[in-house]
Chain A
Amino acid sequence: MSKQIPVVEGLFAETAAGPRLVGSKCSGCGTPYFPRSPVCHNPDCRDQRVEDATFGPRGTLWSFTIQHYAPPPPVKYDQPFQPYALGLVDLQEGLRILGRISTDNLETLKVGTPVELVVEKLCTAADGNDVTSWKFKLV
């Protein structure tokens, strides 16, 4: 059985409630950050205390595109290349985030569709393990 290896460590985690994105939130102004940020970047906020925060799973699809050509490195995909969807999702926590859209039916995607965070296989690593990333599935 192949192992599940995150594409980049520390960006998402499996919790008791399901998969979540791991980031930060400013204690002063509440601005969410992903990935984690050691400080708040809001120029109108003087508070520099940030706390760990998790984001997801619910959001809506702000927009999407379907990638029809094989992009150059460092984009990862299995051969032969298959078109995939990616989107910009507004999460309930006020974070707008990019992610792959997990769907078998690329033709039926719609702006404004409710989506849910999942962690799924992105591609197969050279050693045969599964490289995983966060994605959004339609709900």
Chain B
Amino acid sequence: MRDVAVLGVGLHPWGKFENKSVTQLCREAIEAALKDAGVAWHEIQAIAAASSRFSGGKGWGLNGNDVIEDMGPTGAPVYNLSAGCAAGGNAFNIGYSLVAGGLYDVVLVVGGERMPKGFIQMSGVQEETDPEYLRQVCVGMPGPAFWALLCRRRMEEHGTSEAQLAQIAVKAHKNGAHNPRARFRQEFSLDDVLKSRVVSYPLRLYEICPVSDGAAATILCSADFARRHTTNPVWVAASTVATARMDDGIPRGLATVVPRGNTEHSEATIAVKKAFTQAGVGPRDIDFIELQENTVYYELAFPEEWGFCEPGEAEGLHERGETLPTGKLPINPSGGFLCFGEATTAMGIWQVCEITEQLRGQSGPRQVPNAKIGLGQTLGLGGNATAVILKR
């Protein structure tokens, strides 16, 4: 396998852009990434794109084809990758693999979304054979209710308080307030969060990520190509993909087998632990994490499930300020999904952009001091997960 560098990153700001197509959002992100990399469009040898079910792609998830038609049809191969909310991470993994495997020297990875209004709707299939559809019609369980169930269980096991949950949202907005691409840039007090309305008990409105429009692009290249363009590249130390195991205690549809012990989010745990192995690092070596917090609960569960601390210790990390950019384990210094809102298939690529800028020292007031290694992670419908470790 060859070394792979992140040569350029580009983002369209997150928000609601009713007068722009998803292709326009992608174009702006790609042009920013090309400029950042110092690469021309005709130098892109292949495209790995996240497939969306919400916007563009001719209804077939052909979002990469929309991009190449718009940017200029060079005849380059296009790979459209579908993995629910993990699609951006999945596309990144394919872009990485194409360069690492020696097939191409310069690859564009891109994801963009224009999301429909309201909380995210999981299923795209209205059939009685679809488990997600059955969940909606038989039980009445939208996405936030699913996260709320897991959160309520945690409160029982570890005594997590509602104030401890709210504090994580306060931290997110303290970071996001300094991020010019974030959609929600105001700071909240603990009281503001606790007074926001309960959506699915115990989760409140400000503790759940909304949906947004946005686009992200990265230019990946071989070490030889990188050295001709920069003296200080960011390297991909690991890029992994995983799916959920049979013994996972979280039902994908209506039911699952009662697991032995606590086995949750197995897809994310497998992806992250594989990334540690691939990069030859452990939790202690990671300077900061950009993880998928659809709700504040995940900032408690994930660090424990990945071995950053023992079960029940994550609340303390947040309370002591250790998850701030200046703490021992900064989590989501970007402001995270809470401040950006989820532009589903763009998120895995957006994380790579945020991590790259941190490693370059370009993150301003939310900069993690002396950041050398960063971890990113996504989780998507269907039991999909991805992880990425970047280093300088």
A contact set with B: CB distance below 8 Å: 7-8, 11, 23, 31-35, 41-44, 62-69, 71-72, 74-77, 84, 86-88, 90-91, 94-100, 111-112, 122, 133-134
Q: Does B138 contact A (CB under 8 A)?
A: yes
Chain A: which residue is nearest B140 at the CB level?
A75
* Contact B134–A35 (Cβ < 8 Å): yes
Q: Let me know if B200 and A7 touch, CB within 8 A.
A: no
Report the bound CA distance from A60 to B212 in whole Å: 38
Report the stretch among B231-239, B249-257, B327-335 that lies at the interface.
B249-257
Q: B310 at interface (Cβ–Cβ under 8 A)? A: no
B145: contacting residue among A67, A72, A112, CB under 8 A? A67
Decide if A98 touches B254 in the complex (CB within 8 Å). yes
B residues with a Cβ closer than 8 A to A are 118-119, 121, 126, 128, 133-142, 145, 148-150, 152-153, 156, 197-203, 246, 249, 251, 254-259
Decide: A34 near B255, CB < 8 A? Known: A7-B138, A65-B152, A74-B137.
yes
Chain A residues with CB below 8 A from B153, complex form: 62-63, 88, 111
Let me know if B156 and A111 touch, CB within 8 A: yes
Q: Is the CB of A97 within 8 A of B198?
A: no
Asked whether B134 lies within 8 Å of A87 as measured between CB atoms, the reply is: no
Q: CA–CA, A134 to B133, complex, Å?
A: 16
Asked if B140 contacts A77 (CB within 8 A), the reply is yes
Structural contact, B201 and A8, CB atoms closer than 8 A: no
Residues of B near A41 (CB, < 8 A) are 246
17 interchain pairs, CB-CB under 8 A: A7-B138, A11-B134, A31-B257, A41-B246, A44-B246, A71-B140, A72-B121, A75-B141, A86-B145, A88-B153, A90-B258, A91-B258, A94-B257, A97-B255, A111-B153, A122-B138, A122-B140
Cα distance, A44 to B198, chains bound together (Å)? 42
* B201 adjacent to A68 (CB under 8 Å): yes
Q: How many contacts A-B (CB < 8 Å)?
A: 119
Determine which of A7, A32, A69 lies in contact with B137 in the assembled complex, contact meaning CB atoms within 8 Å.
A7
Q: Which of B121, B133, B197, B201 gathers most chain A CB within 10 Å?
A: B201
Closest chain A CB from B190 CB (angstroms): 21
A77 to B141, CA, bound (A): 12
Q: Known contacts A63-B149, A63-B150, A87-B149; is A96 also within 8 Å of B118 by CB?
A: no
The binding surface of chain B is classed by DSSP as mixed
B126 contacts which chain A residues (CB < 8 A)?
74
CB-CB nearest in chain A for B157? A111
With A43-B246, A69-B199 in contact, do A96 and B256 touch (Cβ < 8 Å)? yes
Q: Considering the chains assembled together, what is the distance between the CA atoms of A47 and B257 in angstroms?
A: 17
A96, B249: Cβ atoms closer than 8 Å: yes
Residues of B within 8 A of A95 (CB): 255-258
- CB-based nearest A residue for B126: A74
Give CA–CA (A62, B135) in the complex, Å.
Answer: 17
Question: Chain B contacts of A88 at CB under 8 A?
Answer: 149, 153, 251
**Cross-interface CB contact of B135 among A66, A96, A98, cutoff 8 Å:** A98
CB contact under 8 A between A11 and B249, given known A68-B199, A95-B258? no
Is the pair B140, A100 in contact by a Cβ cutoff of 8 Å? yes
Cα–Cα distance between A43 and B156 once the two chains are bound (Å)? 32
Asked if residues A65 and B145 are in contact (CB atoms below 8 Å), the reply is: yes
CB neighbours (8 Å) of A91 from chain B are 258
- Determine the chain A residues whose CB is within 8 A of the CB of B197 once the complex forms: 68
Contact: A64 with B152, CB < 8 Å? yes
Nearest-CB distance from A68 to chain B (Å)? 5
Contacts of B136 in A (CB 8 A): 71, 74-75
The residues of A that contact B135 with a CB separation of less than 8 Å are 98
Q: Of A75, A77, A96, A100, which one neighbours B258 at CB under 8 angstroms?
A: A96
A74-B133 in contact given A65-B201, A86-B139 (Cβ < 8 Å) = yes
Please indicate the chain B residues that have their CB under 8 angstroms from the CB of A71 in the complex. Answer: 136, 140-142, 145
